[in-house]
Amino acid sequence: MDNQELKNAISGVLVIDKPIGMTSHDVVNAVRFGTGIRRAGHTGTLDPRASGVLVILVGPAVRLSEYVSASDKRYQAIIRMGASTDTFDADGRFTQQTNTPFNVTEAQFESTLKQFVGEIEQTPPPYSAVKVRGRRAYDMARKGEEVELAPRKINVYHLEVLEWAPPEVVVDVHCSSGTYVRSLANDMGNVLGCGGYLVGLRRTKSGRFSLRDATPLRKLQEAFRAGNWYQYLIPAAEALGDWPAIELDPDTVDNVKHGHRMPANPADKPGINNLVRGVSMAGELVALMELDTTTSEWQPKKVFYS
């Protein structure tokens, strides 16, 4: 196997602690350049101002993106109360400011937090990557055009004050994919009547990966230069490590990789949307399998093993 064939066979996950100042796409490009592997993509954008867990899928594992991207996220958000901006963060221009002393109590703030826990409707910020009639909302907003974004349903599982240092508050946010923490900050400020905007954001968890799993980008780039970056590559099977798995013997692996069905065991417990991971005896991800309840068979949905 030559060097290019070896690179084409590499499949897995790099969990990176993204620094402030880089876009998520910048980090993906750094991974592509450092590994020499073109197939790489992130699983949930982090704004340039934000830092923390950015999950990068490398090689054939990029086909897991739709499942990994849908995972829950966790953040530490720094919200400054007493003003609002048009971008809902510190990059924007002020749309509301007050010269009166900040007089919201911690009890009032925590009471407001409770209104945002559960399934709620949230309108994305006008300066966001959401498309409106085929155009990015931020492009329209920068040109002074009216941006009307439809609210969407999100889930906020947990909100907790970690530090009360008015006018700034540090909040732990556990939420579904697609949640804009900037919008949460703005909406909380509106409810309190004093305004609020995001001044700092650190993603502490994405799906099953947390900061404990993350490698600082600078350290990873050193490993690229040294040629030992493989030590940070997490097997693709672990990207969906919270999914149930069924172990496949060598004969079954061969059948599954050719798209053949296999009988389901009554003891098998499917996960979300009747899906499980099909894993080889060596722990490699072979396929995502979907249960056909009419025939009690596992149907390969996406095959990763060649």
How many whole angstroms separate alpha carbon 129 and alpha carbon 105? 34
Partners of 78 in the β-ladder: 170, 200
| 3-class SS of residue 239 | helix
**Distance of alpha carbon 111 from its chain centroid, rounded?**
28
Residue closest to 218 by CA, chosen among 9, 1, 22, 11: 22
How many whole angstroms separate alpha carbon 277 and alpha carbon 211? 24
Question: If you ran DSSP here, which 8-state letter would residue 86 be given?
Answer: T
- Phi/psi zone of residue 259: left (φ > 0), alpha (ψ -120 to 50 degrees), beta? left
- Interior CA angle at 234 toward 232 and 235, to 5°? 145
Q: Are 209 and 44 in contact (CB under 8 A)?
A: no
Peptide bond between residue 48 and the one before it cis (omega within 30 degrees of 0): no
Task: Round the CA-based radius of gyration of the chain to a whole number and report it.
Answer: 22
47 noted as active-site residue: yes
- Interior CA angle at 256 toward 8 and 273, to 5°? 95
Tokens of 49: 């101002």
Catalytic residue among 2, 17, 26, 47: 47
Residue closest to 98 by CA, chosen among 194, 189, 187, 165: 194
Residues annotated as part of the active site: 47
